[in-house]
Structure formats: C-alpha cells, structure tokens
Chain A
C-alpha cells in the first residue's frame, strides 16, 4: 500500500449525519493536510495538522493525528449535500518536504 491511504474509499450518508474518513501513512511526517476535491479538478485546502499536534478544529471539521499509529482522521459533523466531494490526505516529510497525496475517500451526502 502507498503512503497516505484513505479509507473508506467511498462513503454515503444522509444529510445531517457525521462523516469520518481515515488516512494511514508509512513514514515520519512533518505535517498532514486534508484537501477536498469537488467534481471537476481543483483541490481546496481544508486543514493542516502538525506532527506535534493531536487534534485540530475548523468549523464543522475535526482532524486528529496519531503519530504512533501513523494515522489521521477527518470528521465532518452535521454533513450537508454541499460536502459531497472527494477528500484527500497529504503527508509532508523529508528534508525537501516531499509531499504525497492519498487515494481519496469519495463522500456522498444524500439530501
């Protein structure tokens, strides 16, 4: 498996429910970032968590990081139809800041 793998690969929930996505990685990281990609092309940065942080919040988003397990989770609370998108984690490591994106979780929020 590759650095930055998300699971599940696909997730379908009802509007108002919470959505949890997980990301696992293999090597030591400097920081981990979550991005969203709506149908189309551009990615939008959601949140960054540094290796010395364990939890971070931004609006309806909550990110946790467990460096001992080399994993992170993204929780979206009170989901909305507009949250329908693919979500990617990106890990940053190395002296020259090598960045690796995961394979993504496709979230569908049903109105």
Chain B
C-alpha cells in the first residue's frame, strides 16, 4: 500500500467494552510498532513486532492490552474492559527492517471511552 493505514479512525465506546484497533503496515515492512498519545502529550511506546513476534511488550500498560500480528503484516491491538483512562490516540508505525530505520506512521485511531 501507499502508506500505513489504521482503522477505525475514530472509536467511541462505553466503559467495560472491548475494542479492537487495526493497523495495516507498508507492504514488506517487517517491523511494526504501537504507540499511545494522550491529548497534548508525547508518544508512549506500547509494543514492537519484528515479523510476527513481539520481542518487546514492555510498554503494554496492563493485562487488558494485547496485540498480535499475523502473516508478518496486519496487526491488531485489543483493549479489553476499556476504562476512561484508555482514551487516547493510538498510533501505529512500520519500518523496513528494524527500529534503526525510519518509521512511517499511520493517521491513528482516536479512542474515546465514555
């Protein structure tokens, strides 16, 4: 594809519901990252995939958060039993081989938990 895409662009959910966020990286990119950005804040690293494996899950804030990547391509970030503090923009990025390369970011998913 032309760039990293994310869906949905906006998601409003009720507290306690589960949500699934999707990221389609640039074709051929082996590295994929998830970040969270609260309003006016910097980026908070969540998880990093190299291929289908996640060597670094250290940023996941709680066991309600999980992510997977299949076929070395699409990734989904799942948040179970959402809380209001989960409200943020969730950004996905991919890079050709590793984090030493330039990261290309998607437009993000704005999650609002009511």
Task: Check A98 against B42 for contact (C-beta < 8 Å).
Answer: no
Is A43 in the interface zone, CB < 8 Å from B?
yes
Task: Check A41 against B108 for contact (C-beta < 8 Å).
Answer: yes
Residue numbers in B under 8 Å from A90 (CB-CB): 103
Q: Which of A43, A92, A100, A104 contacts B105 (CB 8 A)?
A: A43
Task: Check A45 against B91 for contact (C-beta < 8 Å).
Answer: no
Residue numbers in A under 8 Å from B37 (CB-CB): 41
> Could you list which residues of chain B lie within 8 angstroms of chain A, going by C-beta atoms?
33, 35, 37, 41-45, 48, 50, 55-56, 58, 89, 91, 93, 98-100, 102-108, 110
Tell me the count of chain A residues lying within 8 A, CB to CB, of chain B: 23
Interface of A is mostly: strand
Distance (whole angstroms) from the CB of A21 to the closest CB of chain B = 13
Tell me the complex Cα distance, A33–B43, Å: 14
Task: Check A101 against B100 for contact (C-beta < 8 Å).
Answer: no
Tell me the complex Cα distance, A48–B100, Å: 9
Closest to B9 in A: A41
Residue numbers in A under 8 Å from B44 (CB-CB): 101
Which 3 interchain pairs have the tightest Cβ spacing?
Answer: A41-B108, A97-B99, A101-B43
Tell me the complex Cα distance, A100–B45, Å: 7
Q: Which of A81-102 contact B (CB under 8 A)?
A: 88, 90, 92, 96-102
Residue numbers in B under 8 Å from A43 (CB-CB): 43, 91, 93, 103, 105
Closest to A92 in B: B99
Tell me the complex Cα distance, A41–B6, Å: 11
Known: A30-B100, A88-B43. A96 touches B108 (CB 8 A): no
Task: Check A48 against B102 for contact (C-beta < 8 Å).
Answer: yes
Known: A98-B56, A101-B45. A33 touches B108 (CB 8 A): no
